[in-house]
Chains A and B, each alone.
Chain A
């Protein structure tokens, strides 16, 4: 685990965040969302990225992650407002509605691995947090069918 630095240049996706496809880098569109100092440690904030609500998180050791803001259990756009912590070595956010934990690295629900929310790459460029999206259909949230 190499913590992402916030000193300036591009540092790419944090280790463990799955890229969204083999050719992800080529088609990734980076949307700046806020300055790094806008978000305190172990906090989340919602951002609008390519028309989708994305929850951006900063961990205690300044790693940055992004998940879909939509909680598949609560079926509401709330994940950014959850508590950020760790389970073992895994950083996670607890959905603020019914407390299901989602791993920040892969979006998998720690109590129910069949459920996963989409993840997005994050990078910090010159003190600005950017979230990457791929052109094409939005990444799928799995497990709980959203009818």
Chain B
């Protein structure tokens, strides 16, 4: 395999750092190819590979969120990445490449991953100012600038040439950017490659309802010039021209094979480097081609999944493997275009002999669903089968929820049930999931079969995954496009039902409800006490699980004092004494220090209080100060001092907002672009005291260097030149998670609006003790779903969530101040009810490093005793 390298490490050069080139490098690192080979990558684009499939979301989330390699460098010294450098010449005889910067380089193995370029039909005027294609982030930036409203506020007009999948994406973008949008398609319907006539017509109705204009069966003749070299409109054959400021060409793609052609590598008749099943050029064994620039067996694939498969095969072959072979790919598609679900799979046009079509259409609801079925072949023993059918393909428009189930059925060849129409009728739920054969590939993005899923959930198996989230992590199913998630969920639920394992989501023995259901019950009935809730919806008198949960739900909705009346008896000891219990039964005290900013005077007060009460002090990770060793009965006196000095509760004890950590930001830091401290203070004061399913932490960094580690928080804000990027769902702790970008470049009021919605939506719907990361993961659709609800307001809940937060902000009161003012609440802070002056003799301290430390009852000496192994800890329920 290795060429003559005379003792040096062989050198693989990758041309193109797009989706597939990146996948190749990542696989080379992961599978150890870089242990023996050097890898050098040249990418023509100015930035590292990014998620082109999600290109349109650039307008929402910004470039950074799309990037596959935010630092633009691989974590492997054997990989060199050169961006903004095009390979302009290839000399196969000397294995030398010419570079756009004038340099040259040599290779032992050459991997072409140059992708494809949009096809621009040769119409006159195609190069005028105002003509664009839709392929790169730079294209989108240029389009955004070009369709920005005129100075007088009037909308720009845009035309997309091409009504295929990519054309509709581009049209969607123009529409979202506020332009008046037309789509011109030469074929008689939209998405002619994927949809049949009725499906295409149904899609047109959806698209036009959104205010776009669709012209099908129309050919464009020229782009009109306004006389200054700018676009004025589009001329059409046999129709009036359309006036426009912008024209976007999206009339198909062509493989970028110019380099290969010039080097006399054989290309396929319709373009693309002709390669064998190992993706090796049929002309030169040291040249490989993968992704959209390749044509295995003469066919190019304009989807990313086949490109990824090709990348893996080349890595495997270079490692000396022989198993990998590319023999074609599933071209099924499911996507959401302009908010309309569209899917096409298998033999969508019923071209198989004897194929029959089964159609469900509802013009009013805009639904069109078609199944293509064909007679089943003979049974295994050779006997012909009567009246037995298999699924061959189909088209779904308006509701593609059945896609995840139907697509695997095509490949598997399973027999259809007697009533196959059930599969596409509204409300049908895949009762057939268990009927899928085990080999059926349920997740095509990650090649996960039903058998893999069943292995993962097998209660006696090695994984024994107990829920969807674990199955996703374990098998990767559903982690790419997400279209298979409902089917995956259905399969594991059916499995659990079949083994009689109840997926019991009830809170505890007292409530057969989830936390979210409890939340709703309280909201609907307006309950104010635990007794009301448990008498109406539960049994018994509650426990340490449901009582704090109900207390938290009541607090989130009514924000009363946590120790008021009966509520006081519901609280965990931390909430009950507004402090954090520590191992010897004493408490620690954490005053709020918003954003970690504190005056010297206040710092001195904390020092004095600690000294006067003999407390151990430690700086916390959340940029505040923790005072340990306070006896319960001392808490009021300590807090009197603190409240007098202007401190308030830091809620370190509550399932509520802890801190919003910040860096020093633009006020002091020479890199800072925004005042991160001010925002952190504002956020901490806004959300202080907010009771939630679990603790909440936030962070704000003044620039992309991220010194506040904001992405390790439930919500993290990072300053940009234009505003703020908002990340959600991060945490530290046992399973650290980076927060993911929710929206980019928003101003402060917008940031607050989205954060209000995000936090309230979480509080309403999360399970008890479920942090934001796990909650996001548990939602159908994950982060995308959060974005729909929070940013797009898909549930129409936006204003309600904001109002709920506004109520919280208005009714907030410091719990410690209120406690100090109420003798009834204070009366609980006694060591012994019949001997309030006697401190608990069980609490003793010794000193260590100049401060106190607890001595546990029975500790032989100050040296700590390891308790873990000998103490039976009550089984958690």
Contact = CB atoms under 8 A, between A and B. Distances in A.
Given A48-B835, A76-B856, A85-B547, A96 B842 contact: no
B365 interface: no
A40 B568 contact: yes
B834 A33 contact: yes
Interface string B804-845: 000000000000000000000001101111110010111100
Contacts of A40: 566, 568-569
Contacts of A103: none
Contacts of B543: 83, 85-87, 92, 94, 101
Interface in A3-26: none
B872 A97 contact: no
A77 B840 contact: yes
Nearest to A79: B585
Contacts of A76: 583-585, 842, 856-857
Interface string B516-554: 000000000000000100000000111110111000000
B541 A31 contact: no
B541 A77 contact: no
B578 to A, nearest CB: 12
A142 interface: no
B1 interface: no
A58 B64 CA distance: 59
A34 B544 contact: no
Contacts of B571: 83
Nearest to A76: B585
B295 to A, nearest CB: 64
B509 interface: yes
Interface string A24-58: 00000001111000111111011111000100100
A94 B544 contact: yes
Contact of A43 (B569, B830, B834, B843): B569
B573 A46 contact: no
Interface size class of A (residues with CB under 8 A): 35 or more
Contacts of B795: none
A16 B376 CA distance: 71
Interface in A96-140: 96-101, 109-112, 114-115
A78 interface: yes
Nearest to A32: B834
Given A40-B566, A75-B856, A112-B874, A97 B834 contact: no
Nearest to A84: B569
B699 to A, nearest CB: 30
B227 interface: no
Contacts of B876: 99
Contacts of B129: none
Contact of A83 (B547, B842, B873): B547
A115 B833 contact: no
B24 interface: no
A48 B834 CA distance: 7
A33 B568 CA distance: 21
Contacts, number: 142
Given A73-B874, A83-B547, A45 B842 contact: no
Contact of A96 (B570, B581, B856): B581
Nearest to A90: B540
Contacts of B831: 46
B540 to A, nearest CB: 4
B348 to A, nearest CB: 57
Contacts of B548: 83
A16 to B, nearest CB: 16
Contacts of A82: 544, 573
Contacts of A83: 542-544, 547-548, 569-572
B577 interface: yes
A43 B867 CA distance: 29
B823 to A, nearest CB: 12
Nearest to A35: B833
Given A83-B547, A147-B858, A53 B585 contact: no
Nearest to A39: B833
B569 A42 contact: yes
A47 B832 contact: yes
Contacts of B827: 38
A101 B874 contact: yes
B402 interface: no
A84 B827 CA distance: 19
A75 B840 CA distance: 14
Contacts of A77: 585, 840, 842-843, 857
B872 A144 contact: yes
Contacts of A88: 509, 540
Contacts of B872: 73, 112, 114-115, 144
B833 A34 contact: yes
A48 B838 contact: yes
Interface string B86-127: 000000000000000000000000000000000000000000
Given A83-B570, A86-B540, A91-B541, A73 B834 contact: no
B576 interface: yes
Contacts of A43: 568-569
Interface string B864-877: 00010011111110
B860 interface: yes
A94 B543 CA distance: 8
A1 interface: no
A109 to B, nearest CB: 7
B833 A45 contact: yes
A31 B834 contact: yes
A115 B871 CA distance: 10
Interface in B216-254: none
Contacts of B546: 85
Given A75-B856, A99-B876, A81 B569 contact: no
Contacts of A111: 874-875
A81 B874 contact: no
A98 B547 contact: no
Contacts of A147: 858, 860
Nearest to B571: A83
A42 B573 CA distance: 13
A38 B827 CA distance: 9
Nearest to A44: B569
A42 B840 contact: no
A85 B874 contact: no
Contact of A87 (B509, B632, B841, B875): B509
Residue in B540, B571, B833 whose Cβ sees the most chain A Cβ within 10 Å: B833
A110 B543 CA distance: 13
Contacts of B840: 46, 53, 77
A86 B569 CA distance: 14
A73 B871 CA distance: 6
Contacts of B828: 45
Contact of A46 (B542, B570, B832, B871): B832
Contacts of A73: 871-874
19 contacts: A32-B834, A39-B833, A41-B569, A45-B830, A46-B830, A60-B541, A76-B584, A77-B840, A83-B543, A83-B571, A86-B540, A86-B542, A96-B572, A98-B873, A99-B874, A100-B874, A112-B874, A115-B872, A146-B858
| Closest CB pairs A-B (n = 3) | A96-B573, A94-B544, A100-B874
Given A74-B585, A83-B548, A86-B541, 20 more contacts: A34-B834, A40-B568, A43-B568, A46-B831, A46-B833, A47-B833, A47-B834, A70-B842, A73-B873, A75-B857, A77-B585, A77-B842, A83-B542, A83-B571, A85-B540, A87-B540, A96-B572, A96-B581, A97-B581, A147-B858
